[in-house]
Structure 1
Amino acid sequence: MTGWLSLLATSAFVAGLMGGVHCAAMCGGWVAATCSGKSRRFAYPLAYNLGRIASYAVAGAAAGALGEAGVALHGGARVQPLMLAVASLALFAVALHLAGVAPFTRAVEAAGGAVWRRLQPHTRWFLPVNSVPRALGLGALWGWVPCGMVYMMLLTAAATGNAWQGALVMIAFGAGTLPNLIGLALFFDRVRAWRASRTLRIGASLIVAGFGVFGMLKAAHPAAFAPDGLVCQLVPGLSAYLK
């Protein structure tokens, strides 16, 4: 795993983990619908969320493949810095969303409306949720609901310029959302209090914004991050990490 991919995956995980309020609003009702009995209290929500993360992985792979096609058509030297800058801007938008400063991510949710209008009627195939396969299928469909957070992370997936790496970024994002939504099913009151902590949300937004700053600097001054560049000379061991 390259250093930049590690940073993207880590920022995606943090964004998913601390984006709990948004995820609960989008998916909490469906998670609750999978928790109608004690024997199903964990298995069904887990299956639902695994289906949702699988959809994220497919979308991430498609985004990464598009990024790879752009690199192939126009050359990595020209396209990769631009993709890196776009991914960094997406991370800034996510950071602001986490901090509650400006919900930019909601403004782009309408972009996926056309796709979701075609998929939403099929959710009835999986209702009521009375088996693990139905929970899995419902989650796989719900993974395509219009979500600004997901779209921002798909931009970072595209910046990897690789289908597998794009899928990995989105899996990391989905894995970050998993504790919130599984916890929502099992310990609703405690999870609600935890994700409402302003200190945690500001801390997470600063982490994600820091990754965005790093990416923007790398896009603007790629030579400085080369093995013999200024940044790598000032930070011992960084050149090996960024390979």
Structure 2
Amino acid sequence: MSCTFFYYVSVLAENLQLSTQKRLNEDVIDFDLLEDLICYIDENCPSGAVLVFLPGVAEIEMLIDRLSASVRFKGASSDWILPLHSMLSPTDQRKVFQSPPENIRKVILATDIAETSITIDDVVYVVDTGKHKENRYNPQKKMSSIVEDWISRANAKQRRGRAGRVRPGLCFCLYTHHRFEKLMRPFQVPEMLRMPLTELCLQIKSLHLGDIKSFLLKAVEPPKEEAISSAIDLLFK
């Protein structure tokens, strides 16, 4: 197995000669820093595809526009700045597995679909923004919404592992070592704690598993009783 070396954002800022006081705001994605880093990799690192993890489609399209307009990736190189997310057609998704012409670097801008669902063998460099988007359910408002949040340490390790599948790789983390060790959750919040429970309640009844609330409260990380009651009330209406 090839090894992966990784760098946190404070080291990146120093190596790229960036102003850390100006740049280091972990709460927002710094597209200037992202563009500088990708151009730095293209200019200074050996051949190999770059995989950039971004939270959503809007961020992917924004970075595609910025890179395509840059001096480094203009012309034929811009054809190999490739999006990768679940809304793409299978034909468009397949292009990320193709090899670019000589002297052109493939840059893949992906959501967390590339964490485990897809393996791209020629990826050597990973840039991890540390963010993703996930569904959250508010039982008081009875509404679901998509929110941007920090990934877990388990997600971060999965992303790091995408680099260097066939040879030693590099992962550049756009968050601090302190955030990774102290602030990130060990694992992602279970789906049962962030999604509506109505469908799950119906499955429990259809399988004759007993009282819904009692059954769900036996889970390792049970949902709040308020969320369970809200789902049951909604089904009775």
Specify which structure has the higher proportion of strand.
Answer: 2
Larger helix percent: 1
TM over 0.5: no
TM-score normalized by the length of structure 1? 0.29
| Higher RCO (Cα < 8 Å, 6 or more apart) | 1
User: Rg bigger for which structure?
Assistant: 2
Relative to the length of structure 2, the TM-score reads: 0.29
